[in-house]
Amino acid sequence: MNRFIDYLDISGEVLSAMRNYEPIVALESTIISHGMPYPNNITTALELENIIRDNGATPATIAIISGRIKIGLSREELELLAKSKDVIKVSRRDIPSIIAFGKTGATTVASTMIFAQLAGINVFATGGIGGVHKGAEVTFDISADLTELAQTNVAVICAGVKSILDIGKTLEKLETLGVPVIGYKTNDFPSFYTRKSGFHVDYKFETAVECANIMKAKWDLNLDGGLVIANPIPHEYEAQQELISKAIDMAIYEANKNNISGKEVTPFLLAKIKELTVGESLEANIALIKNNAALAAQIAVEYNRLIEK
């Protein structure tokens, strides 16, 4: 007997959407606790939820609060994640201990996917997915996000992979895992802060309907696993490639010098890049996640129409 429901709390808004078979979009919480400084994080979290509502879907921000899996957060819970220094970054391996000992954790892409699938949510908006880190041939540092994409039935709308990663190796790994990489109105895989990486996507789609159709076909055929729907950052917010590249190189150098490793690497690098770019990267980060939230809601609406037929 599956007992996951014993650990799950679903907000009134999300539960109402489920009961009425309405489209829902999952949102991660690591971006609140570890991805942005206060008050940008709480402001952005609330704006993302409203963008999803404005595009016809219900937002479900996901986290673990005092050992309970929360699908949909209250304003107070969002504030807790935004302000507290004791929130743990939670990926798949961390889930059992965080829940068993009643701790509070913010979900990464991988853990958000897991909880979204448990709750029956198929669409998830984030900033950028994790991937293969530079130097992984020595360190073997590869994000659990990729493994989750291979086995969990959730479509992830993102601005590509974080530009601190080895994009070529990440795409090779996704190919090996059988994860379709779709470019939304682009043939070029986006590089988080910038619209192009020089690497191609598997398929280019022009509409939310097309994205919904491939989701349905994949899962109707019992081809388990997610999809990456790569949505480039809007032109007007695209960062300068040279500036970002220099900042990334410097941030990686600082991380290595200070022996930063494991789950601490990405938050350290993002904070250092923000510092080196005088906030330009933060502005880009906020713009791209808003753009992804809008598209995710549109895809969720179209997918919901398809499965109702």
Q: Annotated catalytic sites, by residue?
A: 28, 162
The type of residue at 170 is T
Strands 68-71 and 8-10: parallel
Strands 58-65 and 24-27: parallel
The type of residue at 52 is I
Give CA 24 to chain center in angstroms. 15
Asked if residues 125 and 296 have their Cβ atoms less than 8 Å apart, the reply is yes
Sign of the C-alpha dihedral computed for residues 105, 145, 191 and 229 taken in this order: negative
The span from the CA of 79 to the CA of 55, in Å, is 24
The span from the CA of 257 to the CA of 30, in Å, is 25
Write the CB contacts of 39 (distance below 8 Å, at least 6 apart in sequence): 82
